[in-house]
A and B are shown apart, each in its own frame.
Chain A
């Protein structure tokens, strides 16, 4: 399992690429399977007669909840579309940055074409900027501030840190640290994200589609039109 990485003389980068990542992946897998499994098992028996088609209701909600509701569109347009922007940008950076693809290739055993560095850099800067704006908005808007929990801030931080350290590593803004140290911090930030992922709001990455479906299906069964 070590594949040639040994504790003796281990640098921070070796630690990040090896033991830290292995433990983070293990915690991530345990956490995600546990939460998904528990949700699937925790099924309440509903004895009432269904008042609508549950599957159709669930499928419809998957689509309708992906756009801002018409009545609220004016107020939440910025939040909604900036959310889309940084998520799409994040996935492009994550999947089409060459070093990132090679990381996944090491796990999956196959690779795919990637983008030149300039695109990845621009999109990373864009993502980082949007994340900062959204945080500022969360803190400055009294309503958003009121409904925000510690989980929101931790999850924001976990999403932000890989972009910050990734940009620092690529752009060599290292504050006196060596390149490999910043690269190690970048990988460690991913480890941190993986550990936090199942236990905080980042889990929405897995839950978003099933939960939207489930809400839609439950509403349809009860005859709610939402």
Chain B
């Protein structure tokens, strides 16, 4: 996947179309059209657009892609690369000219730096910048560095020449787990730093591989960024909430719930709302696209949704507290407020008694 050949080889590879790469990898026309139909369907395009998508992807020159991993756990890269069998989606990803990804590439130190700068110079203004991981800022900028450069400075430098930025995962999109309270490194997402470039957020912890490649496929097809929601996420994948698309929804409506992770309801696959599922307030494509080529997804495996594609999902209370159960306070606070009420009552009572006594005395 990494590319570290000579400039000549690089130029040849960059001139290959995506179609060339797919054919070289043994993808049949039928398999490719199936992928295009699925992609067009995911992007809510009319069936007539399938051939357009196919033509655009097939003839697209391999766009230069730089992937900068910052303060992250590598889960997003794992998500994309650890599928058991090579998929068309995976090959589409391979087809892009991934010029820099310091986790995946063999080169290190100065050679990696050179590859990055070379790709940036050659494709200035045209490359796609993929980022995973949050960016520490302020006094903590130096807490996350590559080869002596802080990630904040790397992001600013790489973003300057990017055509668009795709943030892979919740950390890059919104700060994610590193930003969770008390945010020890003052971590932020890309959109908090870069304001003058189109940014497509592909959050998730990690995001679904199909969604990552789907967004790339959209960019290859149209050369534009897809329609985004208010959190900068592509509507095609993040337009509907998990609860509305969940196959366990009928059980919610019937009032059939799992009350614990090993009760009869859990065994029967009933709704996980009572166990804290955040499906009703989470927007992602898990319920429809699923994971590992449609094998399963968190709710199907018996655990409620954590809401990982939402900003600050780590700071929204317990994963196991139902959405409707609030944070109403505690017994101590209620005791104090009740005491305050009693004090007010005593004062009001004393005042009223005083008035009453005075009136009775006046009458007498």
Known: A5-B317, A22-B333. A99 touches B348 (CB 8 A): no
Give Cα A180–Cα B241 distance, bound, in whole angstroms.
10
Query: Which of A35-43, A73-81, A124-132 forms part of the interface with chain B?
Result: A35-43
Tell me which of B175, B317, B342, B356 contacts A3 (CB under 8 A): B317
Tell me which of A5, A35, A42, A179 contacts B327 (CB under 8 A): A5
Query: Which of A51-59, A100-108, A209-217, A218-226 forms part of the interface with chain B?
Result: A100-108
Check A116–B345 contact: CB distance below 8 A: no
Check B318–A4 contact: CB distance below 8 A: yes
**A21 interface residue, CB < 8 Å from B?**
yes
Give Cα A102–Cα B275 distance, bound, in whole angstroms.
10
Q: Which residues of B contact A11 (CB under 8 A)?
A: 311-312, 316
Give Cα A16–Cα B324 distance, bound, in whole angstroms.
11
> Most chain-B Cβ atoms within 10 A of its Cβ — which of A21, A30, A40, A100?
A30
Minimum Cβ distance to chain A for residue B257 (Å): 7
| Closest A residue, CB atoms, query B174 | A9
Minimum Cβ distance to chain B for residue A130 (Å): 24
Tell me which of A98, A99, A107, A116 contacts B328 (CB under 8 A): A107
Give Cα A40–Cα B346 distance, bound, in whole angstroms.
10
Per-residue CB proximity of A25-37 to B under 8 Å, as 1/0?
Answer: 1100111111111
| Closest A residue, CB atoms, query B330 | A1
**B32 interface residue, CB < 8 Å from A?**
no
| Closest A residue, CB atoms, query B335 | A29
User: How many residues of chain A have a CB within 8 Å of chain B?
Assistant: 50
**A17 interface residue, CB < 8 Å from B?**
yes
Check A41–B341 contact: CB distance below 8 A: no
Per-residue CB proximity of B326-364 to A under 8 Å, as 1/0?
Answer: 111110011001101110111011101100100000000
Main secondary structure of the interface of B (DSSP, over half): helix
Minimum Cβ distance to chain B for residue A27 (Å): 8
Q: Which residues of A contact B241 (CB under 8 A)?
A: 179
Q: Which residues of A contact B328 (CB under 8 A)?
A: 21-22, 25, 106-107
Give Cα A216–Cα B325 distance, bound, in whole angstroms.
40
**B274 interface residue, CB < 8 Å from A?**
yes
| Closest B residue, CB atoms, query A105 | B325
Query: Which of B50-58, B116-124, B248-256 forms part of the interface with chain A?
Result: B248-256
Minimum Cβ distance to chain B for residue A70 (Å): 37
Give Cα A158–Cα B353 distance, bound, in whole angstroms.
33
Known: A42-B349, A103-B324. A98 touches B341 (CB 8 A): no
Q: Which residues of B contact A18 (CB under 8 A)?
A: 326-327
Check B338–A99 contact: CB distance below 8 A: no
Give Cα A30–Cα B341 distance, bound, in whole angstroms.
4
**A118 interface residue, CB < 8 Å from B?**
yes
Give Cα A22–Cα B328 distance, bound, in whole angstroms.
5
Check B281–A13 contact: CB distance below 8 A: yes
Give Cα A40–Cα B109 distance, bound, in whole angstroms.
80
Q: Which residues of A contact B274 (CB under 8 A)?
A: 98, 102
Minimum Cβ distance to chain A for residue B21 (Å): 40
Give Cα A22–Cα B327 distance, bound, in whole angstroms.
7
Q: Which residues of B contact A13 (CB under 8 A)?
A: 281
Check A34–B323 contact: CB distance below 8 A: no
Q: Can you offer 24 A-B residue contacts whose CB atoms are under 8 A?
A: A1-B329, A3-B318, A5-B327, A8-B183, A16-B326, A17-B327, A22-B328, A25-B329, A26-B337, A30-B337, A33-B341, A33-B344, A37-B345, A38-B344, A40-B345, A41-B348, A98-B252, A98-B273, A102-B322, A103-B325, A106-B321, A116-B253, A117-B254, A180-B281
Known contacts A33-B338, A105-B325, A183-B280; 6 additional CB pairs below 8 A are A9-B175, A9-B311, A10-B312, A40-B345, A41-B346, A99-B273
State the B residues within 8 Å of A (CB).
Answer: 174-175, 179, 181, 183, 241, 252-255, 257, 273-274, 280-281, 311-312, 315-318, 321-330, 333-334, 337-338, 340-342, 344-346, 348-350, 352-353, 356
